[in-house]
Structure 1
Amino acid sequence: MSDVAIAAPAARRFRLPPTLVMFALGWVGLMLATAFLADVLAPYSYTALDLRNRLAPPIGFGGVLIHPLGTDELGRDVFSRLIYSIRMSLLIAFGATLIGAALGTSLGFLAAHFRGLVEQCVMALVDFSASIPFLILALSVLAFFGNSLTLFICLLGLHAWERYARIARGLAISAGSQGYAAAVRQLGASPWRNYGRHVLPNIASTLIVSMTLAFPEIILLESGLSFLGLGVQPPETSLGSMVGYGREYLTRAPWILLSPAAVIVLTTFSVSVLGDWLRDRLDPTLR
């Protein structure tokens, strides 16, 4: 009986993820594979024109096989543009998420280490950043400084950095009061080694879950700014810019807008599901 009692919790702990999580894993994997293999998968360049098949419908609605998802107002293949848009949107989302996590975690560790005036300044900056509507800030910066891909990614990286700062500060203070961090300090380890080799690995699971929750928010922000014309600029393309261009042809050629919109919805939904699943798996208080 004891062996059965021990085996049952282990089986529950390592059971297969539910169907929804498996779908989310498969979709995210498909999007990553599409982004890495965009040059191989796309049948045409995203700027190639085919004016004879302008606004051609997709297959199943009277379209032709050479354009399976139809064409846009300039005869560009929607399927090819969708593939390259997935690459661009994921590049922006990954880059901005990493920038926000690195900035927020570094400032959180800084506040936890020095305390006092430094901590007060960091937390005041956190509160100030959280009080400003990010969309208004992004519109102001992009309208004043112009737009480039590097500036756009760095600007989106400022989204939700205060979330990482609060988490890193709180967990670093908690780790500092525990035995392992104090022992490392007493052995003469530098603050860089203490936080980088000992504190950070112990709080990484919480930060990873926070990143999975912020990732879909950045995708939606990129889509919204590109929809307004302040995101990715032509001739480059992204999911948001495809939706923005397709809105003018919603009644005549809805396939221009529906394909990238469906990808945005499924991608943000899948990443959110994975974030919730990781939180349940990595948080010991929920087991």
Structure 2
Amino acid sequence: MTSVEATLESSAKRSLLSRLRLNLPFLIWVSLLWLIAMLLVAVFADQMRPYAITKMDLSARMAAPGTPGHLLGTDDLGRDVLSRLMQSIRVSLVIAFGATLLSAVVGTGLGFLAAQFRGWVEGAVMALADFQAALPFLIMSLAVLAFFGNSMVLLVCLMGFYGWERYARIARGLAISASAQGYAGAVVQLGATPARVYLRHILPNVASTLIVSMTLTFPEIILMESGLSFLGLGVQPPQSSLGNMVGFGREYLTQAPWIMLAPSFVIVMTTLSISLLGDWLRDRLDPTLR
């Protein structure tokens, strides 16, 4: 790496960090603490669960929350709701993280290709993005899962197909704008390859916008997965996800509402926290809003 490249890269990193080094509002602190708690539950679910998710105790069927040994109660088979909720948080977050990352990588890569080659490559990428935006994703997901069956890998790949066109459009526009600026042209004149220019210089400068887009896509994927699981085409037993628990609990809403309300509360709080964090990041990282 030349001294000019190193200077440009360090300048981009300092600019991003300086925008984030601000006092956090109270709601953002609450959102961060909630998301950290969810991540800890997802990582250490096996150690934190009081029972196995399939362990049944028919003598304690539909026990109310607060019952000794069952903090959030039990379902109609006597399975501990808290244990299943922890496992559901892990599964739903793994799907959402994996799908969001896959969507961002594919979309950003295609956007950079469109910006680099222009011409028919750009036209093909943008036409594919327009087709994706016009496609009723939920109907397509139902058809794919009904035809190919259910698996975690297929579900992550299918969810990752959602929203990639946003990243492609954003990455293409920002890459074209950055290429026209002096710093990109400077490293090209120094002999840097296109891959190095995009990955080491353009990507750090457009990362803030892409990160905000990821925070907006993440809760949408959680809700999409929850909807598919609610309809019975998402995560399948004996595994459990938040949407799976909501779909199961709707049958007992009048008898044991806690079966459905516990995962519903987690879904609402998690999506709300990520949305608030995304709005805050957008305000901090977009210079036109300051």
Instruction: Report the TM-score, using the length of structure 2 for normalisation.
Output: 0.92
Farther off after superposition, 13-22 or 46-55 = 13-22
The code of the aligned residue for 2:216 comes to L
Aligned-pair CA distance for 1:124: 0.2
The 8 Å contact of residues 20 and 285 in structure 2, kept in 1 or not, is answered as no
* 1:48 aligned onto 2:70: no
Instruction: State the 1:39 CA deviation.
Output: 1.1
Offset of residue 76 of structure 1: 0.5
Distance in 1, matches of 2:21 and 2:193, equals 38
Q: Structure 2 matches for 1:187-206, cutoff 5 A?
A: 187-206=190-209
What is the aligned counterpart of 2:166 among 144, 151, 163? 163
Q: How is 1:111-260 mapped onto 2 (pairs within 5 angstroms)?
A: 111-260=114-263
Q: Which runs of 5+ in 1 are unaligned?
A: 1-11
Residue in 2 that maps onto 1:80? 83
Residue in structure 2 matched with residue 38 of structure 1 by the alignment: 45
4+ aligned runs moved over 3 Å, structure 1: 12-15
* Structure 1 residues 188 and 274: alpha-carbon distance in aligned structure 2, compared to 1, 3 A threshold: same
- C-alpha separation between the residues in 1 aligned to 2:107 and 2:237? 32
Q: 1:184-233: CA deviations, max 9, x gaps? A: 11211111111111110110010000000100000000100000000001
Comparing 180-189 with 275-284, greater Cα deviation is found at 180-189
Partner Cα distance (2:105, 2:231) in 1: 28
Q: 1:277 aligns with which of 276, 280, 288?
A: 280
- Partner Cα separation in structure 2 for residue 13 and residue 216 of structure 1: 22
Letter of the 2:238 partner, please give it: P
Change (3 A) 1:105 1:13: closer
- 3-state DSSP of counterpart to 1:188: coil
Structure 2 unaligned blocks of 5 or more = 1-18
Distance 2:50 2:21 in 1: 42
Q: CA deviation at 1:40?
A: 1.4
Deviates more, 1:103-112 or 1:19-28: 19-28
Structure 1 residue 15: Cα displacement: 4.8
Moved more, 14-23 or 174-183: 14-23
Residue 16 of structure 1 deviates from its aligned partner by: 2.1
Call closer, same or farther: CA 1:29–1:178 in 2, change over 3 Å: same
SS for the counterpart of 1:126 is helix
1-side partners of 2:151 and 2:42: how far apart?
A: 21
Coordinate RMSD, CA, aligned: 1.2
**2:196 partner letter:** R
Task: Give the 3 Å change call, closer, same or farther, for CA 116–143 of structure 1 in structure 2.
Answer: same
Identity of aligned residues (%): 67
- Indicate the residue corresponding to 2:26 in structure 1: 19
* CA distance 1:136–1:253, change in 2 (3 Å): same
Contact 2:219 2:275 in 1 (8 A): yes
> What SS does the corresponding residue of 2:73 show, helix, strand or coil?
coil
- Following TM superposition, by how much is the alpha carbon of 1:14 offset from its aligned partner in structure 2, in angstroms? 5.3
| SS of residue matched to 1:258 | helix
Equivalent residue letter for 2:42: A
